[in-house]
Amino acid sequence: MSWTDERVETLKRMWSEGQSASAIAKELGGVTRNAVIGKVHRLGLSNRNDEPEPAPAPAPEPVAEKKADRKPAPAVQAPRPEPQPEPAAPAREEPAEEEPVSQPVFTPVPRRPIVPAGQPLPPQPSANEISPETLASVREVEKRARKLTLMELTERTCKWPIGDPATEKFWFCGLPSQAGKPYCEAHVSVAFQPMSSRRDRRR
DNA sequence: CCCTGATTCGC
DNA sequence: GCGAATCAGG
């Protein structure tokens, strides 16, 4: 396989969408993720976000007096943009009266949430809409959940969230997912319901 | 062990 | 230019 214009176009599109190199390789076929990564670098797409250019801040040498100056510019690695200094966290007093213990209370720092453009988020399991049998089955399955963290999820693990994300009791199902589906068999059954069965569900 | 991208270097 | 091997890491 070679990098035809069309294949390069697909590569560019998927990469900009945040797809992983292996996913792109799978889509293209005939190439490995290494090939994809290599191509990405050759195309100069390495940076997923589009920083125009850090404007390398010449780092002016304060002391640069040498009679016999050898190398004017050592030409080292491009100087890093240098992370922004953390803006002094505004001391925030919450009038919360009900909290007995002092809680750190994460204040949602203005952060642009980068959603990994993946599978559709599962609807929260709402008791209605789902047959009791299926619901029972799901509950049973969730007892056997592998309780994976976000980082442990793969393309072959069920990504159904279990528990309250705001608490420690939160994890992902993690059981083997259906081929091509983001969830295991049990969760697929509650996630993907035919319109017909949703229409006149008995209550 | 699963996965990720980054880099190197012989081709 | 290409990409396998390797590295570094979550």
**Coil, strand or helix: which one is A187?**
helix
User: To the nearest whole number, what is the mean pLDDT of chain A?
Assistant: 68
For residue A38, say whether its CB is under 7 Å from any atom of strand C. yes
**Coil, strand or helix: which one is A162?**
strand
| pLDDT (0 to 100) of residue A124 | 53
Q: Tokens at residue A80, please?
A: 């890093």
Which has the higher per-residue pLDDT, A24 or A105? Answer: A24
pLDDT in tens, A136-161: 878 888 888 888 888 777 777 888 99
Nucleotide nearest to A37 (CA to C1'): B5
pLDDT in tens, A59-74: 444 444 444 444 444 4
DSSP at A150: G
Confidence band for A12, pLDDT divided at 50, 70 and 90: very high
DSSP string, A29-80: -SS-HHHHHHHHHHTT---SS------------S----TT---S----SPPP
Indicate whether A26 pLDDT > 60.
yes
Q: Which nucleotides in chain C lie less than 7 Å from some protein C-beta?
A: 1-6, 10
| pLDDT (0 to 100) of residue A73 | 42
